[in-house]
């Protein structure tokens, strides 16, 4: 591989001049620029990114830390982050944490030594992160996290609003008793969706906390949850699940129990991952823009890194994207009950 020195020699100028033309900064006469460019092409030169990283203390790499890329929510997010990163000339380091603090910590240490320019975190082990935040100056953007005192930038969706949309829709199609399956409460969106649900149903005379049951955001837990719920309240006719995977589980569980969806029980999920459309019936859900969250996270990170001009909304630290209800078969009733 040709180095900057080879180019300098061939074009008869100094390395500084080469550096100037490849970085388009400083003054260079058009003539020498042409000479340099010719030499570059002739040698098929392209600057060594590692050397550049060492000199600049900047690698044009960002990292995405998430629990598990295998989860469709996160793979969609990762895709968005990669696309946006590429657009800014950055490369993406993928880090699966399984939500384990030890793995997250190990990654932080490695990433720091590698001069990654920024980190986007969509994983949730907060204890170490807080410590890390104080001891590191790596720009950070966080997805779906609980706001803390530190100046962290957070991207999330309007979860409370979304939950209310879901419940209201279930009411509208005639549901008389609506249950909720919520996700892990350490995870902020779970809590918000639960709150939204509670606010929407608490005035009903039938409301009881036994209408809510916890899942873990996976399909299997939706199956379990629905079993528990129907044992407690056989007359449930609407279920709002805290995410789509649990909604899918709920659907499977109900079908297995011989219930008809949506005739006996209607279901609404949250997220709008692609899977909702492959189920039979297709699942009504509260759509959040996963891709949009990823894109926004990168944009905000780029501002922190200094790639992108900071604007008036500079000091907004909580970015809540809007959500919308997507009506599909799992709540499509011909006749109201």
Select the residue interacting with a second copy from 16, 23, 26, 54 (CB under 8 A). Answer: 54
Secondary structure E strands in 114-158: 118-121, 140-143, 153-157
Residue 110 per-residue DSSP state: H
In terms of CB distance, is 20 or 193 closer to DNA? 20
Is 68 near a second copy (CB under 8 A)? yes
- 116 vs 49: CA distance, rounded Å: 13
13 contact, one of DNA, a second copy, none, CB 5-8 Å limit per kind: DNA
Select the residue interacting with a second copy from 2, 3, 22, 47 (CB under 8 A). Answer: 47
DSSP states of 47-93 as a string? --HHHHHHHHT--SEEEEEES-TTSHHHHHHHHHHHHHHHHTT-EEE
Is 59 near a second copy (CB under 8 A)? yes
- 182 vs 217: CA distance, rounded Å: 8
Is 263 near a second copy (CB under 8 A)? no
End-to-end CA distance of the chain: 74
Question: If you count them, how many residues does the chain have?
Answer: 337
- 267 vs 283: CA distance, rounded Å: 7
199 contact, one of a second copy, DNA, none, CB 5-8 Å limit per kind: none
Select the residue interacting with a second copy from 21, 28, 39, 76 (CB under 8 A). Answer: 76
Distances (CA, A) of 165 to 168, 202, 285, 286: 5, 15, 10, 8
Q: Is the separation of the CB atoms in 124 and 67 below 8 Å?
A: yes
For 200-214, the three-class secondary structure string (H helix, E strand, C coil) is: HHCCCCCCCHHHEEE
168 contact, one of a second copy, DNA, none, CB 5-8 Å limit per kind: none
In terms of CB distance, is 52 or 218 closer to DNA? 52
Q: How far is the CB of 165 from DNA (least distance, A)?
A: 49
Binding mask 102-141 for a second copy (x = CB under 8 A): -------xx-xxxx--------------------------
Q: Dihedral of the CA atoms 142, 147, 152, 154 (nearest 10)?
A: 40
Q: How far is the CB of 68 from DNA (least distance, A)?
A: 32
Which residues within the stretch 44-63 sit at the binding site for DNA (CB under 7 A)? 45, 47-48, 51-52, 54-57
Which residues within the stretch 16-45 sit at the binding site for DNA (CB under 7 A)? 16-17, 19-20, 22-23, 25-29, 31-33, 45
Residues that bind a second copy (CB under 8 A): 46-51, 53-54, 59, 61, 68-70, 72, 75-76, 78-79, 82-83, 91-96, 109-110, 112-115, 219, 248, 252, 255, 274-275, 278-280
């Amino acid at each position: 591989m040709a180095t900057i020195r080879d180019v300098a020699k061939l074009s008869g100028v100094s390395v500084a001049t080469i550096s100037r033309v490849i970085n388009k900064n400083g003054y260079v006469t058009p003539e020498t620029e042409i000479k340099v460019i010719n030499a570059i092409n002739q040698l098929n030169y392209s600057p060594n990114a590692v050397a550049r990283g060492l000199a600049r203390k900047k690698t044009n790499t960002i990292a995405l830390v998430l629990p598990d890329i295998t989860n469709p929510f996160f793979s969609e997010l990762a895709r968005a982050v990669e696309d946006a990163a590429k657009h800014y000339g950055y490369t993406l380091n993928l880090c699966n944490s399984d939500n384990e603090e030890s793995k997250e910590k190990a990654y932080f240490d490695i990433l720091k030594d590698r001069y990654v320019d920024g980190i986007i975190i969509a994983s949730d082990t907060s204890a170490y992160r807080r410590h890390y935040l104080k001891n590191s100056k790596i720009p950070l953007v966080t997805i779906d996290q609980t706001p803390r005192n530190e100046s962290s930038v957070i991207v999330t969706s309007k979860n409370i609003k979304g939950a209310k949309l879901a419940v209201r829709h279930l009411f509208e199609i005639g549901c008389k008793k609506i249950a909720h399956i919520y996700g892990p409460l350490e995870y902020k969106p779970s809590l918000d969706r639960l709150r939204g649900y509670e606010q929407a149903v608490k005035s009903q005379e039938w409301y009881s906390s036994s209408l809510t049951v916890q899942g873990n955001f996976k399909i299997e837990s939706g199956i379990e949850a629905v079993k528990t719920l129907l044992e407690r309240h056989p007359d449930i006719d609407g279920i709002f699940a805290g995410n789509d995977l649990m909604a899918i589980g709920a659907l499977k569980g109900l079908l297995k129990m011989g219930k008809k969806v949506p005739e006996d029980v209607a279901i609404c999920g949250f997220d709008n991952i692609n899977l909702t459309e492959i189920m039979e019936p297709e699942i009504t859900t509260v759509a959040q823009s996963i891709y949009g969250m990823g894109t926004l996270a990168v944009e905000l990170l780029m501002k922190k890194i200094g790639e992108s001009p900071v604007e008036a909304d500079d000091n907004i630290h909580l970015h809540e994207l809007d959500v919308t209800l997507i009506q599909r078969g799992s709540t499509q009733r011909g006749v109201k009950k």
